[in-house]
Amino acid sequence: MEYNTTRNYLIMKEYGRNIQKMVEYLVTIEDDEERQRNAMAVIELMGTLNPHLRNVEDFRHKLWDHIFNISGFTLNVESPYPIPTIEKLRAKPDRLPYPKKYPRNRHFGKNLEMIIDKAVHEDNPEKKEGFTQCIGNYMKLAYSNWHKESVHDDAIKAELLAITNNELEYHPGHTAHVAGPVNFPPSGNVAGAGEQFRSNKRKNFQQNKFKSSNSSNSGGKSRDNNNKHNNKYNKNRNK
């Protein structure tokens, strides 16, 4: 019996021990044509064992890379794709540049400083005004999230002036320019809608009035029945 402690290291566990043994056998085949034919059969078997790879773009390219990886990059077959190397597999990615500049106003974040810098250097006055209003609205939202209370528009205006050295001025209640006209319904439709609303309201009022009258009538009938029952009981008791 073969134990796991006596076996070699399983390179790609998702394919299992049997696929690795097949690939190890492929390396020992001396005939090139037979080795190529068996390698194609192993590729098809690997695709069958992992059907989720069929939804991946260029999944056959991935299978060929895996079979070379399992063989330790010693398999000598012709591949329809560039043959990978161990140096390429172990190559480390380039180091990402990490920003070392800390934001001056941490409660607003780094992105707000980038937007403010873009708004300050904007030449179009309409776009600059739109940037300013969006920045002011975002500052109000950030202030509410941090302090859990509302903030006055004058405070946002003063803080934005201080951050931008009096280059951006926030106007409370001013909305940014909306591109394109807004189509309102014609006056006739509005009047018709109002008339329909009033008719529906009148109809609901009549239905509620009818329900209340029915409930009052039913309550009166029940009281009359109770009175009749009590009178009959009193007569029988007097006898």
Query: Which of 100-109, 127-136, 164-173, 196-205 shows the lowest per-residue confidence on average (mean pLDDT)?
Result: 196-205
Q: How far is CA 119 from the centre of its chain?
A: 28
CA angle 68, 71, 77 (to 5 degrees): 55
Distance CA 43, CA 20 (A): 12
Distance CA 191, CA 31 (A): 90
pLDDT (tens digit per residue) in 218-227 = 455 555 555 5
Burial of 19 (0-12, 13-18, 19+ CB in 10 A): buried
pLDDT (tens digit per residue) in 54-93 = 777 788 898 999 999 999 999 999 999 999 888 888 888 8
Asked whether residue 7 carries a pLDDT value surpassing 50, the answer given is yes
**Contact assessment for residue 58 and residue 75, using Cβ atoms and an 8 Å cutoff:** no
**Contact assessment for residue 63 and residue 14, using Cβ atoms and an 8 Å cutoff:** no
* Stated pTM of the model: 0.44
